[in-house]
Structure formats: C-alpha cells, structure tokens
Amino acid sequence: MLVNGNAVLYVTAGALINFDPLADSISIAPYASLQLYVACDTANLPNVVNDQTPINFAYYGLPTNKNVTQKVNADFIGTVYAPSAKYTLGGNGIGAPQRVCGAVIADSVYYNDPFYFHYDNNLTRVAEQGAYAVTSWTEL
C-alpha cells in the first residue's frame, strides 16, 4: 500500500486487517502521512516504510481493537496508540535487533527479537496533551 497524500483511514469493527508480513508493506511517500483508526478486534500489520518522522504514521486502536500484530524486519518509525490492545512485535526470528522510533501506548507489548525503543522528543511538540510517559515496565 502506497500513501501519497495526507490520508485518514477508518477501519470498522466488522472489517479485517490481515496483511501478509512477508509480501506486504505500507509505504509513506515523502511529505505524506497516514492516520489509521482501527475498530476491528485484530489487526495484522506489515512493515511500515516511513523514512520521515513518527508523526507521519499514526495507528489509533479504538476500544474494540484488542490485538495488534506487526512483523517488522526493518526499523519502525511511527506511533501506536492502542490502550486496549496487546501489541505484538515479531522480528525476523534470528535475533537481529529491530528499532522502534516514535511512541507506543498499549495495554501490553510482546516481542521475540531484541527491540530498541526510542521515544522521539519531537512528539511532545505536536501531541495535543503533552509528553508520553512510561507508567510501568516489567522485564521478562
């Protein structure tokens, strides 16, 4: 999927988001953005190719969105706001480090490879309610 403009997509509760993690991707073109509002129970996302800033890809999981799975075999640059969802990151499974640059707010986060999380301080300037903060952390 290629995003060329400033797109807003609303996925209803009865719909299905089921990308093939090996064959599909969401590519954000230069000067473009995607705001993805998701009401369906489960969303399987592919790699998101966003060579800009995290504000150019925003995933909003609505209260009915309970599971978000994303197979990332490259750096993920974006934001995920899905406070009711379990967010599962799956790398390539060989232990290669993956990077998440932006912010993730979820009920819980699970991952199978080493992941480095980098909060982008620029988000504090564009967020409507100020900075994001980690409220709890459990190392497994």
Residue spans per domain, the chain: 2-126
Ranking 25-29, 76-80, 111-115 by mean pLDDT, the lowest is 111-115
Q: What is the mean pLDDT of the chain?
A: 87
- Of 70 and 11, the one with more pLDDT: 11
DSSP string, the chain: -EE-SEEEEEE-TT--EE--TTT-EEEE-TT-EEEEEE-SSEEEE-EEEE-S-GGGEEEEE-TT--EEEEE-SS-EEEEEEEEEEEEEEE--SS---EEEEEEEEEEEEEESS-EEEEE-TTHHHH-TT-----------
Most confident by average pLDDT, 38-42, 45-49, 91-95: 38-42
- Of 20 and 130, the one with more pLDDT: 20
